[in-house]
Every structure is written in C-alpha cells, then in structure tokens.
Chain A
Amino acid sequence: MKILYVEDQITRNISRISRLFDKYLTKSAKKTLQELEKDEYPPEPEEIKKIVETSNLIEMEYRFPQALQKVIQHPENYALFIIDRNLFEEEGYDVEEVKAFEPSFSEEKYETYAEREGDYLFAQLVRLKTDVGSKFYFMTAYSAEEGIRGAADIQGFINLDIFSKDNFIEKGNEADFDRLKHRIDNIEILNIELENRDYLQILRKNIDEKTADDFIKILSEKDAKGRIGDNLRLIRNTYQSILEKCVIIIPEMRDNCMNQHNQVGLGRETIDWLSRKTHINGIVRSLFFSVKEIPSKFSNHPNPEDATTDTVNSLTYALKDIILWFGKICSLYK
C-alpha cells in the first residue's frame, strides 16, 4: 500500500513535499531534494518524482492522464490519495491521450473538468467504491466551499455531505498542513512498511513484490484471531519462497536438497544440509524448524486451541530473523 500524491507544480513545492513526507523519505532522498531546492536551475518534475518514489511508500504524479490511469486501474494499491484539484498544464493534455485508457472521457468532460481535473479523479474513485471519506484529500488554493464539479454525476454513489471540509487541505494553511501530515504519518499500514523496510526490501529485491506483500499482510494481521490459520500458512509460504531462492543461489544446494517431486525440501534434510555447510547457525536452524513445523502441524490438524496470536507473533519474529539471514546469503552469493 502506498500514498498517491498528485500535483502539477511539484518543482515549485519541493520543500512542502519534503516536509509532508518527512517520515517516509530516506535521509539521502531528503538531502537530494534540499539540493534541488537550492539549485537556481529548476529540476524537471520527473527528477523529483523519482527521488520521492525511492521511499517505496509514495507514488507521485504530476500529469492528469498518468494520475487518472493509476486511479482507475489500481485504486486498491493506495492507502491515501492526496490530489491537487487544478492539474491544468501549460501545454495541455490531449483528450485522446486520456481516452486511450478511459474511453468514456470526452471533449465535454475535458471542458467540464478543465482546471478541476482533481474532481474527475475524485469522481472515478467514488465510482470505484473507494472510501474517499477516509482516504482522499483535496489540495486546493480555493475554498472548500467551492462545489465539486460533476457532483451531480456521482450523487448516486456517495453522500457528498460526508465528504467534509476536513478532506480539503488549503495550500499555505499550516493548520491544514499539520492535519494532513498527521494523517500521513499515522497510516498504520505504511508505518508497518516503514518499520520493516529492511525486511521488505530484502524480499522485494531477492524474491518478488508478492512475497513482500504477503509479509506485510502477516505483519498487519498477526494479532487478528480470525486470521491465525491464514497467517501461519503465509509464514510457511514465505519460508518456502526463501528456500526456493536459496536453492538457486547457494552452490550445490540444488543437488542436495530437492525431494522426489523436484521441489526444495523444507524439512530436516535441507536444514541439516544448510547446517553442515555452515550456511545457518544453531539459532537460525531452530527458527527454521519452528517456521516449518508449527504451520504444518496446525494445517494438518487445525484446532484453534493449538495456536494463538502469540504463536503467530513468535513465528513472525522468527521469520524476520530468517529474512535477515536470507539477505546476507543473497549478498554473499549475488
């Protein structure tokens, strides 16, 4: 999950962006932004976008067509939308460019939403049943009293009264800025990501995005009683994904750790081999057993009394250590 931040004049607002996402930006990203801010030759928006997106928690768009594409194609990817209402550009955007992925867009809509493109993004999210009340913020230089364009078209989808003044952030208003920043800083899912940035980076870099997403899921649901079985399964799957990658990179492992189905063994044989070859120490060895055995036992005999959220929590932390071990292995054999 990420934040989608859409603003056309990002080169003019580097310091605001830096302050707004201070918590999620790395030190080096902030430093680079600071340097760009000081540079008398203005940066291209794309440069700023790239820097901000290194956080992996924020996606930034400065053109309406690109923003619309993200909004309508994967709205579920975002925990928060921060959208500038006026996304009108100097050299304009082409209606055809938008129609390529949004066939219902037209000249008429172009006219209706000109200089209020953000309202169109809002309307699309409402149609896609996004919880705009809690996830959507308009940034605007105008008053919140100004009606949202195309409101009549989306009245059947939303009671606009519940989309309150709180969802409008007036540019230059420090109180509004603080409110938005507080909201940004306290997105639980993003905080989880932030706190586990190192683990997630190892998974993303060496396995894939899905495995990283599964791990976030585990982290965010590890205290949910109703999710114990699912989480144990996800822990086991993550462990399996790690070993599958290890088979590829650790020399000779493939010759020694594959079972009769030509799959990597998850149990004793593999763990012993890794121990013998000193790839894992005693602690990690024990964690391997726990992460392998406990989910398997629960899965064969799912009895709610056999496993608790504490079980899940302990295995999650075990998995974290395994991920760190895995990161080292990947660095070693990269």
Chain B
Amino acid sequence: MARVTGRPNIVLLSLMLAALLAWWGLPSVSVAPNRIVSGSAYLAPEVAGVGLAALACLPMVAVMGLAWRPSRTRLAMALALVVLMLTALPLWLSLAALRLIDPTSPGARMGIGPGPWVLLFVLLLALIELRTRLGLSRRLGWGLLAVPLGSLGVCLMRWLSPLALWQEYQGRREAFESALGEHLLLVGVAVGVSLVIGVLVALAMRRWPAAQRAGFGVLNFLQTIPSIALFGLLLAPLAWLSSEVAWLAALGVSGIGWAPALLALVGYSLLPMVRNTYVALEGVDPTVIDAARGMGMSHGQVFRQVRLPLALPVILEGIRITTVQAIGLTAVAALIGAGGLGTFIFQGLGQAAMDLVLLGALPILFMALGVDAVLGALGERLRPGGTP
C-alpha cells in the first residue's frame, strides 16, 4: 500500500502514450475480399470516423490524468478504465466488421491489424502494473481478465465471424482440436519421460561423482544440436529400426512422425531437468543435512523429509523451464510430421496466410504463458517457510 505515492507514475504514462500512438498511427484492421488477395489496411478514424475514434481515446487520456498524481483511489479508477478498454477491444473489432465487411460477399474477411495487438499488449502491461501497485493478489488480476474474455467470446459468437483468424479456425475446427491434443500429448509425454529419466540421472550423478562430468558433457552436447538437425539425424536410425523390428513398426515408430519428435524432445528436455534436479539436491544447506543426520535420521529419512522437500522448488523450476521449452520445440516437430499446432504455422507460411500462422502460434504462446504462470506460482508456494 505504501508504494502508492504522489509522484507521477511514469510507467502508466508511457504505456498510455504508446497506446495513443498505436491507436492513431497503426492500422486497426485489414479487409480482403477473399483469402488469397492481400487486404487493404484501415486506421482507426477510417473505420468509424474521427469523432468516434477520438471518443475512444478518452479513457487513455483519463488514465494518464489519474497516473499524473496517483492515489489509491485514482489507481483503482485507472484499473477499472484499463479493464473497460480491454473489454471494448473486441467490440471495436465487431464494429469494424459490421461497417467494413459487405454481408453479401461470403468470402470477405477481416484481419486484425497491428494497432489492436499493440493495444492489447500495452493494456495488459498496464493491468500488471496497476495490480502490483495496488497490492492485489495475482489471482484477482487473472479474475479481472474474465470480463474482457467474456466480451471476446460474445463478439466471436455474434459479430466477428468475418475475422480471418476465426474463419481459419472455423474451417479447421476438427484439425485444430486434434492438433491441440497432439501438441499437449507430445509435451506432456516428453516432460513426463524426461522428468523420470532426469531424476534418475541426477540421483546417479550424486551417487557416482564420476558419472557427473560425463553425464553433463553428453547432455550439453545434445542441447547444442539444432532441433531440425536432430530431427534429421534421428530419421535414418529410426527408419531402420522400424523396418527391422516388427512390433516397433506396429506401434507406429518410423523415421518421421511422433517417434523421432518425442525422442528429440526428451533429449532436449533432459539437460534442464537433470541440471535443475542435480543443483537442487546438491544445493541444500549442508549444515541442515548435518543436523538431520546428527539427530539420528536415516539416509532415507534425510532424503525424503529434508533434502527432497527443500529441493522441490528448484526442481519445479526445472520442470517449468523444460515444459515451456518443449511447448515451443513441439511446434518445430510438425516439420517431420509429428502433428501438433506447428502444422498450422508451417501450412500458413507455405500459403502466405498469416492468420493461419496465428492460429498455430497464438495457442502455443498462451500455453507457454499459462504453464509459466501456474508452475511459477506453485514453486513460489512450495518455498520453505511457506509464503513470507
């Protein structure tokens, strides 16, 4: 609470300045008569007239005013305005769709221009800034996003059908769902497998120090191979294996597809997993271990009741890093036919359809952010001594 001071909040001021510039200077939407033709861009005043565009600026200016001499009440008002703007963003796109899209031409589609994207980004930053300034819990911060998300949902259902991204999704609903499933499955299995192997390897390294240098050497080396190259390298041996071993072939193992993707993902995931687990277990204060043994705890008790719980936050950090990394790498795995959301990205790139690329990229981004937030918060809670 004490962080609320009377001095101007520079962060909010500059964020809102950026929002104003994006609003006036960057195209809001682009409209194309069909999927192939590249569309023409529209600035905010061109969408709805100067008057309405200027009216939309009022909340931004108001937030700047409130941030000029902040107090708790003023910041709370600013927070309300930011949530309002986030909520209005889909409505604005709906308005653009209604005005610019000819309802009689079914192929016409609207792309979201850079303006709204920048606005979204800037407003989210403002939301985070205000949340921390006001000392609100992270959960409440996420809760506030429910309103804009609800607005987005309603707009998508009712007015935003010409949105190119939405159309790409509508056209591929089933493909999208199965790609999402494949993506999650690949990431989940890769992280799960590498967690099990990683913990075992880390334990072995602690047991036999000689294994440590060799182990880290191999893992570091694996990490330096570019992912495409690793996928390629696995192609030949796996193809050979599946031709030689019948049950592997029956399982679907071959030079391309999920098998090499999974192998490569596990390979990449091992280093962060092993390193964090090893460092976590080794990093436990030796005097605490000494006391534990001195009190008469057995080796097993020391490990289960002291070393492991104290290492857990760092191990979790390893899982977090690994998972975020695997979510991204799995996109690349689409190149060798492993499926997943990367399929849309590469298809879109091939067809120069940016909205299709976004259909693949956006969920990947949100998945990574979500995992990052959830596991980060969990690690925070597991810190010794509870939440301070």
Q: Do A and B bind each other?
A: no
